[in-house]
Amino acid sequence: MAWPLVNLTVTFFFLIFLLFQSCLSISLPLLLPPPHPRARPAMVLPLFPSPKNTSTTFPDSSHRLLRSDSNSSHPYARMRLYDNLLSRGYYSTRLWIGTPPQRFALIVDTGSTVTYVPCAMCEKCGTHQDPKFQPELSGTYQPVKCNLDCNCDKDRDQCIYERQYAEMSVTSGILAEDVISFGNLSELSPQRIVFGCETEETGELYRQHADGIIGLGRGDLSIVDQLAEKGVISDSFSLCYGGMDVGGGAMVLGGISAPSDMIFSYSDPVRSPYYNIDLKEMHVAGKKLDLDPSVFDRKFGTVLDSGTTFAYFPEAVFEAFKDTIMKELNSLKQISGAVPSYNDTCFSGISSDVSQLSKTFPTIELVFENQQKLLLTPENYLFRHSKVQGAYCLGIFQNGMDPTTLLGGIIVRNTLVTYDRKDSKIGFWKTNCSELWERLHVTSAPSPSPSPFPSPSPSPSPSPSPSPSSSSGKENSAFEMPPISAPEESPIYALIGEIEIGEISLDLALNVNHSYLKPRLVMLLEFMAKELGVNGSQVHLLNFTSEGNISFIKWSIVPSGSATYISNTTAINIISRLAEHRVMLPDDFGNYQLVQWEVKPPSKQTWWQRQYLVVLLGIMMFIIAGLIASGIWLWSRRRQAQIPYQPVDGAAREHELQPLQS
């Protein structure tokens, strides 16, 4: 009888637990797992050592706006940059090829010329971000027939290409011509361009996430050369890479007028086939390195390459640099890098706040022949240690036996770099590249100002992208889903007065397949929470639907911990970062659009809602006490029933006597 009572009690406790859990399930947030450790894969770069991955940040900079090239009436292509040096080792942009357009993510590379994408007939191509290009689906596709100006296939029918990279990756295929579009933000209309239709790839090219490469170097196949030769853009382009922990950035194909304080270096197109600068000196913490200026002019000279992740110095330069900087950092604790085989030089015990790095690490100056100096802050030569909090590593390495000085993407973080090929010079302007993208990002409406970086128009013209108040957020997935810029006079995220906010409800549209996104929702909201600076416990997933290739996510952010409301400042910051597209997501999630948002006041709870846990606990304790008391009473009654009661004078039952054992 006791065991059934125990089973009854256990069952009751289990039911109470389920009841308790169901009461809490309404308010339980989506619990987010910690992010995975960041890897540092090798980068793909032609003719130069295979770099690794990195990351870094930049202090606040001027908010001045740039103007378009007043000497040119050419249009330009404004294009967003994606990814960052830490997660990918490169920056990429989007191009659309064919009619109707097919989208591709291409690595931005000033060190190579051919622009290529994997084609449907490629059986030796890896799995990349987007589907392979299908020539048969494009009504404007045309292969380039064999001629005297190209290498031909064995049948002498089509032009072919082949490129080999330093780490021995190879891409090869046929040359073709088709219409290439530059996105909704471009003033430049779609153009017919010769590109590589890839039929085979090996090495890092096979394994990379991006689909291919956009070649910005000097050469007949370069997309810049082709557009400039057509006369549709001026012979210039600009890149601006985001900083540490931010990523992204902007690219402009075409000319812009330079800010008054942009510094320039002569770039000799005859000196080498790559974009070079006339570097003569290097200073560390104000101290000139004892080097012969000719050391920067050997082999290909000092090359600026957007596709390389880190900087690589000749042996003499690297040794002088490392000796000097180690003396400056002798008070810091030196530790091993995340990957021992890289032999990184890393330091620990440093603030994780990137804005404080300049208090610990010295500045570096690159001095050009004209005595103009490019100042490098710590984010331009450091990257975060991927396994140790508050640790950083040098992003400058020795270039083996190669005497070339190679300056990769880390050197120009948060720096607008203008490649003025017409006047043979390269300009550098320190700025916040994330903010520069916001200034680049306007609707396609013509502006009375000739600026390529105008302020957002208060009355944007119709666009394929949905407006912030749109309820559907539908869009043709073949085109980029650009962010909405808020008018400066009346931001779309303005709040009227000071209000107490109990919940921020957000509707996002992403141009990514529903079935692909569904198992990755937790990861997506994890990135969102991190980018917006909130805890995972504040994030609630409310709804998840799709239509075609567009996925719609309704989610909310609630106050943290014991707080009862979200401050107006925090709410505006969250909404504006999403509305202005300053939340940087991994490429896997495509582009997002903030369709609509809503702030709700804290819910006014009844006494029962505020005290239901206490009341529920009291009821549970009362029931448990009653069960225990009932159990004790039943147990005592059963024991009494098991002891037979006999009167003293009652007749006793006779028992058979057993013989005694002798």
The tens digit of pLDDT for each residue in 140-180 reads 999 999 999 899 999 999 999 999 877 788 999 999 999 99
Query: Among 45-49, 302-306, 533-537, where is mean pLDDT lowest?
Result: 45-49
- Per-residue pLDDT band for 121 (boundaries 50, 70, 90) equals very high
Cβ-count burial 135-163 (b if 16+ within 10 Å, e if not): beebeebeebebeeebebeeeeebbbbeb
Query: Among 29-33, 275-279, 297-301, 628-632, where is mean pLDDT lowest?
Result: 29-33
Same domain, 384 and 259: yes
Q: How far apart are CA 285 and CA 618, in angstroms?
A: 68
Q: Is residue 609 part of a domain?
A: no
- Which tens digits make up the pLDDT trace of 308-355? 889 999 999 999 999 999 999 999 999 998 888 788 999 998 887 888
Same domain, 308 and 412: yes
Q: Is residue 88 part of a domain?
A: yes
State yes or no: pLDDT of 420 exceeds 80: yes
Q: How far apart are CA 345 and CA 349, in angstroms?
A: 14
Domain tally, the chain: 3
Express as a percent the part of the chain with pLDDT over 90.
43
Q: How far is CA 199 from CA 124, 171, 326, in A?
A: 7, 8, 48
Same domain, 403 and 337: yes
What average pLDDT is seen over the chain?
A: 77
Of 395, 423, 391, 394, nearest in space to 407 by CA:
395
Q: Which of 397, 414, 441 is the last residue of a domain?
A: 441
Q: Which has more pLDDT, 405 or 27?
A: 405
Tokens representing 352 are 């994780």
Can you tell me whether residue 281 is helix, strand or coil? strand
Same domain, 270 and 208: no
Q: How far apart are CA 210 and CA 169, in angstroms?
A: 15
State yes or no: pLDDT of 447 exceeds 60: no
Same domain, 269 and 393: yes
Can you tell me whether residue 608 is helix, strand or coil? helix
Q: Is residue 626 part of a domain?
A: no
State yes or no: pLDDT of 543 exceeds 50: yes
| Average pLDDT of span 606-628 | 75
Rounded to an integer, what is the distance from CA 226 to the centroid of its chain?
A: 30
- Per-residue pLDDT band for 612 (boundaries 50, 70, 90) equals low
pTM for the full predicted model:
0.62
Same domain, 227 and 267: no
Cβ-Cβ contacts under 8 Å for 584 (sequence gap 6 or more) = 84, 242, 246, 247, 248, 531
Highest-confidence segment of 131-145, 540-554, 617-631: 131-145
Of 460, 461, 464, nearest in space to 473 by CA:
464
- Per-residue pLDDT band for 620 (boundaries 50, 70, 90) equals confident
Highest-confidence segment of 5-9, 60-64, 348-352: 348-352
- Per-residue pLDDT band for 194 (boundaries 50, 70, 90) equals very high
CATH of the domain at 588: 3.30.70.150
pLDDT of residue 114: 95
Q: Is residue 141 part of a domain?
A: yes
Same domain, 288 and 184: no
| Average pLDDT of span 476-493 | 35
Tokens representing 243 are 């900083």
| Average pLDDT of span 61-76 | 49
Same domain, 179 and 127: yes
Tokens representing 580 are 């202005």
Residue numbers of the domain that contains 89: 81-233
pLDDT of residue 606: 58
User: Helix (H) and strand (E) counts for the chain?
Assistant: 9, 32
Q: Is residue 216 part of a domain?
A: yes
Other Cβ atoms less than 10 A from the Cβ of 49: the count is: 21
Same domain, 94 and 136: yes
Q: How far is CA 49 from CA 15, 25, 131, 168, 404, in A?
A: 64, 54, 29, 10, 11
The H-assigned helical ranges of 285-417 are 315-328
Of 443, 509, 505, nearest in space to 470 by CA:
509
- Per-residue pLDDT band for 39 (boundaries 50, 70, 90) equals very low
Which residues are known to be catalytic?
Answer: 109, 305
Half-sphere exposure (Cβ direction) of 260: Cα atoms closer than 13 Å: 2
